[in-house]
A and B are shown apart, each in its own frame.
Chain A
Amino acid sequence: GAVVSQHPSRVICKSGTSVKIECRSLDFQATTMFWYRQFPKQSLMLMATSNEGSKATYEQGVEKDKFLINHASLTLSTLTVTSAHPEDSSFYICSAKTGADSFNEQFFGPGTRLTVL
């Protein structure tokens, strides 16, 4: 199946710094990528949907100035958590969708665990 990678897998940072997380589709072109956040023992919460070459669409309640998303190419999307605070600590998962067919199969990355001290 299609492979999606994320880098880094774990990151620890100090409060107030910014952290960039990369999501790459390794063997396919992803026209659409999704960013999710998962709290412990909770479901995935969709943060934003990004289409290559256009601005990301953020879900209600997600601060677009805090969570910057760039989908610069068909194989790479980045999520930057700006001025991170301890409450931003979470497991961030990206997914990528191939093509434009109606079946919404998303291929998920392994996730990035962010800890803000």
Chain B
Amino acid sequence: GEDVEQSLFLSVREGDSSVINCTYTDSSSTYLYWYKQEPGAGLQLLTYIFSNMDMKQDQRLTVLLNKKDKHLSLRIADTQTGDSAIYFCAVSSGGYQKVTFGIGTKLQVIP
């Protein structure tokens, strides 16, 4: 089945850019997502990208997709303390129903 991997932890200073990386195994993945989870809360969809795209920008968020290397990244520009959370990479493929999540990257923003 699909396997999604991400690093566990990232620490950045307020105002710097954050880059969270993710790799996946299924080359037929069609939708790739980034979710944010704040402590004790559910998941919030931040952004997504279709597999036929290389890049998507949405305000401070930039998603880059390298299909050849099966690598997805999320860049947060001008990182703020409110961005501190766990960020999950997720992919879906085939029958569109099932979404596979990575383990989540905890982003710590240092004031």
Contacts and interface: CB of A to CB of B under 8 A. Distances in A.
Nearest to B92: A104
Interface string A1-32: 00010100000000000000000000000001
Interface string B67-111: 000000000000000000000100010001111111110000000
A49 interface: yes
A49 B97 CA distance: 8
B87 to A, nearest CB: 12
Contacts of B40: 110-111, 113
A114 interface: no
A106 B45 CA distance: 8
A43 B103 contact: yes
A108 B43 contact: yes
Interface in B12-63: 31, 35, 40-45, 48
Contact of B101 (A6, A32, A44, A111): A44
Contacts of B35: 108
Given A43-B102, A107-B45, 16 more contacts: A32-B97, A41-B8, A43-B4, A43-B101, A43-B103, A103-B31, A103-B48, A104-B96, A104-B97, A104-B99, A105-B45, A108-B42, A108-B45, A109-B42, A111-B42, A113-B40
Nearest to A57: B97
Contact of A110 (B42, B88, B96): B42
Nearest to B96: A104
A42 interface: yes
A93 interface: yes
B105 to A, nearest CB: 11
B104 A110 contact: no
B99 to A, nearest CB: 6
Contacts of B104: 43
A107 B99 CA distance: 12
A46 interface: yes
A81 B92 CA distance: 27
Nearest to B97: A49
A49 B98 contact: yes
